[in-house]
């Protein structure tokens, strides 16, 4: 069984790994779990297009010491934004349940296998 050996520093953004001063990090009030709270730069990217959702890779075991879970899964830090039309092209209109589930948070976690397929389709 894999055991994490690295702890995420408090003043580092989980998503971009950039250092963020504590005061800036505390000013961000949102519904993100504090552990996964994006820095202002990542937040701006994540919210840049209201017709897009953030798709992030998640796994069943923590990759960092003291990593908190999101609904029993652990984000890896890899993420991308996807527009609705690209989402429909890849998943088909039949998978609107996945899109609908993400509407409230504008984010959805997917397995490493699905994330790899998305990266291949988006960047090919």
> Could you tell me if 97 and 81 lie in one domain?
yes
Q: What is the mean pLDDT of the chain?
A: 79
pLDDT band of residue 122 (cuts 50, 70, 90) is confident
Region 73-77: what's the mean pLDDT?
92
> Could you tell me if 55 and 113 lie in one domain?
yes
CA dist 67 and 55 (Å) reads 19
Q: Residues 31-69: pLDDT tens digits?
A: 556 778 888 888 888 888 888 888 899 999 988 888 888
> Could you tell me if 22 and 62 lie in one domain?
no
pTM (2 decimals)?
A: 0.78
> Could you tell me if 42 and 53 lie in one domain?
no
> Could you tell me if 42 and 102 lie in one domain?
no
> Could you tell me if 33 and 84 lie in one domain?
no
Residues near 83 by beta carbon (within 8 Å), at least 6 away in sequence: 49, 51, 52
> Could you tell me if 91 and 109 lie in one domain?
yes
Q: Residues 17-29: pLDDT tens digits?
A: 888 876 555 555 4
Contact criterion met (CB below 8 Å) for 69 and 76: no
* 16: containing domain: 11-47
Q: What is the pLDDT of residue 79?
A: 93
The phi-psi region of residue 64 (left if phi > 0; otherwise alpha if psi is between -120 and 50; otherwise beta) is: beta
Contact criterion met (CB below 8 Å) for 63 and 4: yes
CA dist 109 and 56 (Å) reads 5
4 located within any domain: no
Nearest to 37, CA basis, from 71, 10, 73, 64: 10
- Of all residues in the chain, the percent with pLDDT exceeding 90 is 15
1 located within any domain: no
> Could you tell me if 28 and 61 lie in one domain?
no
Number of domains in the chain: 2
Burial of 103 (0-12, 13-18, 19+ CB in 10 A): exposed
> Could you tell me if 92 and 112 lie in one domain?
yes
> Could you tell me if 105 and 77 lie in one domain?
yes
């Amino acid at each position: 069984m894999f055991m994490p050996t690295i702890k995420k520093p408090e003043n580092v953004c989980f998503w971009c790994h950039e250092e963020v001063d504590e005061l800036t990090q505390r000013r961000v009030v949102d519904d993100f779990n504090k552990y996964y709270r994006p820095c202002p730069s990542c937040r701006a990217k994540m919210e840049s297009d209201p017709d897009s959702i953030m798709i992030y890779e998640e796994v069943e075991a923590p990759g960092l010491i003291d990593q908190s879970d999101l609904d029993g899964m652990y984000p890896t830090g890899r993420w991308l934004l996807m527009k609705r039309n690209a989402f429909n092209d890849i998943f088909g209109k039949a998978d609107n349940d996945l899109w609908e589930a993400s509407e409230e948070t504008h984010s959805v976690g997917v397995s490493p296998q699905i994330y790899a397929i998305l990266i291949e389709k988006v960047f090919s």
